[in-house]
Structure 1
Amino acid sequence: MKALIGVMPEEIIRKRVLSIAKGEYQPQECEPKVWFTSMIALAQVLSNENIALLRLMDKQKPETISELAALSGRHISNLSTTLKTLNSHGFVDFEKTGRSVKPKALFTDFEIIVDQQMNARFFAA
């Protein structure tokens, strides 16, 4: 379960998204699906603590957020905020069963591409 993550400036990400929307550019299968504008932004989401949380979820497979809170030693309110952030970036999914919500880690390992030359080749700047 490895996520391929790209890091490039916001302006280039915007141009890339617009090129895709206009049909001018077709992303390749081997390209990152998740993009960040800087290593700082990436580090805020994929901190050591959050990577450990993803791996704990994958290993222990908690049935509820409350169970995950107990396993991780984190308060539910703080944990819920973290899970929503991880979900918004595509690293976590939620399975709803009745009134329960089961958090599921989608990735536990990460490959990060920060090569500006490689990013620039996606489309003409």
Structure 2
Amino acid sequence: MLTTFDDDEYVGRALGAGAIGYLLKNLPSAELAAAVRLARAGVAQLDAAVARRLAAGLSRPAAPAPAPAPAPALSALTERETDVLRLIATGSTNREIAGRIFLSEGTVKNHISRVLSRLGLRDRTHAAIYARDHGLL
């Protein structure tokens, strides 16, 4: 990439998008021609100042990654929703869950929807995995 922007953000974007080099337009024409030939041959080309900054950045320790948001706790569920989650994890169908805890199938479906929503889960499979990982089995 040939540019006037001597900015690390632009460098990162260009290289991340697949540019094989990053050169500034103030480069003497003979050096520019040589750099283009080398880039065409697949040899990466970086402006000297850009290369120094990249190298300096690599030698610094990376900033720690932000901690992931904690998963919603089981305490967000009612006792009945926890029962439904436990039964989902055993592989029970909605009809079987309804029969075991004396609810209508529609009510079980409502409880399942609330469990998924409160825990940020996508489907029954994820609910079963969550239940196993949190000691409900």
Using structure 2 for the length normalisation, give the TM-score.
Answer: 0.37
Higher helix share: 2
Higher strand share: 1
Larger radius of gyration: 2
More RCO (CA 8 Å, sep 6+): 1
